[in-house]
Amino acid sequence: MNFGILGAGSWGIAFGNLLRDNSQNVLIWGRRKEYVNEVNQTKRTPYLKNIRVNVPLTHDLNEFLNFTDILVIAVPVQFIREVFEKIKQFEHKIFLILNLSKGIEIKTQKRVSEIVSEFFNVPYSVLSGPSHAEEVASKIPTAVTLAGEHYEFLQKIISNDYFRVYISNDVVGVEIAGALKNVMAIAAGILDGLGGWDNSKAALMTRALYEMIKFGQYFGAKKETFFGLAGVGDLMVTCNSKHSRNRKLGELIVKEKDLSKILTNSKMVAEGMYTVKAVVDFSKKVGIEMPISNEVYEILYNGKDPKLSMLELMNRPLKNEWYI
């Protein structure tokens, strides 16, 4: 079985190493030729320090597609469509797609499964949960959720003694949980930048989970999915971890107050900054109340004072805790 991984960033390489540990054939496609050549030569990547890269990389998309049976998506969501447009120019033998990316496309407000369906007529699955690439690459025990078609087949291939895969039949819930937790992690980072208070962080994460569930249920997602690894599990790690790009972005916006400057100085993609645009636009259009997401958007894109956002969230009309 040949796994072709689209994306040579930290998660693509960590997952490639995982599959090699499981004796699978793997090839990773990278966008930048110079980077691909460097990694192939040194067996190292700047995204994962002190980790040996055990998988070959290629910049040649035709070579990649001739190799690939199972396509693994590990590129930022906003670039998936662009890569798929290139892929459709080539012959390929892809019979199954596994998505690792977490986010919602800004211009269409579509989930990854919906983008995939525009280009491929093959079974689709999504893998999500608390799985920072840095720790997976270091073989730290990790558990995730896999939802979609052929999930039992994939579960057996991917699982090993440091990476445990649970299965679900809720693709929509797993995708939305993975996308929205990135937005909430930015909020957590903003809170850390303001002071990192324990009471406030606990309240934020709890209400963030509620907001994620409410948004997901609009699309038919199951509430219990959000109480599992793809939901609360990923939310906990992303809101608290030193590895979290989204949490770090929130922390930096409090200090720098200039999103463009932060992005210029950063090599990593924080998916939440894109997802929040899609979430806020869609929620306003259909009337879903998303107070935390709205404030993250205002802080990132309209320069709102984070302290004012916190004050306004605390002074919203009083209500019952749960009504979903």
243 in the same domain as 108: no
Q: Which of 181, 214, 248, 277 is catalytic?
A: 181
Q: Do 165 and 127 touch, CB atoms closer than 8 A? A: yes
* Residue that finishes a domain, picked among 116, 135, 169: 169
269 labeled binding residue:
yes
The domain that holds 102 is classified in CATH as 3.40.50.720
Q: Confidence class of residue 291 from pLDDT cuts 50, 70 and 90?
A: very high
Q: Confidence class of residue 268 from pLDDT cuts 50, 70 and 90?
A: low
47 in the same domain as 83: yes
Q: What is the pLDDT of residue 323?
A: 64
Q: What is the pLDDT of residues 273-287, one digit of tens each?
A: 999 999 999 999 999
The domain that holds 283 is classified in CATH as 1.10.1040.10
Residue 321 belongs to some domain of the structure: no
Q: What is the pLDDT of residues 210-234, one digit of tens each?
A: 999 999 999 999 999 999 999 999 9
How many domains are contained in the chain? 2
Residue 307 C-alpha from the chain's centroid: 27
Residue 45 belongs to some domain of the structure: yes
Q: What is the pLDDT of residues 68-108, one digit of tens each?
A: 999 999 999 999 999 999 999 999 999 999 999 999 999 99
Q: What is the pLDDT of residues 146-187, one digit of tens each?
A: 999 999 999 999 999 999 999 999 999 999 999 999 999 999
| Residues of the domain holding 281 | 172-314
44 labeled binding residue:
no
Residue 75 belongs to some domain of the structure: yes
Q: What is the pLDDT of residues 47-71, one digit of tens each?
A: 999 999 999 999 999 999 999 999 9
35 labeled binding residue:
no
Q: Confidence class of residue 260 from pLDDT cuts 50, 70 and 90?
A: confident
Active site residue 181: yes
Q: Confidence class of residue 256 from pLDDT cuts 50, 70 and 90?
A: confident
* Residue that finishes a domain, picked among 135, 169, 203: 169
* Residue that finishes a domain, picked among 121, 138, 169: 169
Residue 245 belongs to some domain of the structure: yes
pLDDT over 80 at 258, yes or no:
no
pLDDT over 80 at 306, yes or no:
yes
185 in the same domain as 127: no
Pairs from 129-133 (Cβ < 8 Å, separation ≥ 24)? 129/229, 129/230, 129/233, 129/234, 130/229, 130/233, 130/234, 130/236, 130/237, 130/238, 131/234, 132/237, 132/241, 132/243, 132/244, 133/9, 133/10, 133/11, 133/13, 133/14, 133/15, 133/47, 133/48, 133/243
Q: Do 158 and 146 touch, CB atoms closer than 8 A? A: yes
pLDDT over 90 at 264, yes or no:
no
226 in the same domain as 247: yes
Residue 322 belongs to some domain of the structure: no
Residue 320 belongs to some domain of the structure: no
179 in the same domain as 135: no
pLDDT over 90 at 42, yes or no:
yes
- Average pLDDT value for the chain: 96
146 in the same domain as 220: no
Paired tokens of 47: 């995204």
283 in the same domain as 202: yes
Residue 324 belongs to some domain of the structure: no
Residue 323 belongs to some domain of the structure: no
233 labeled binding residue:
no
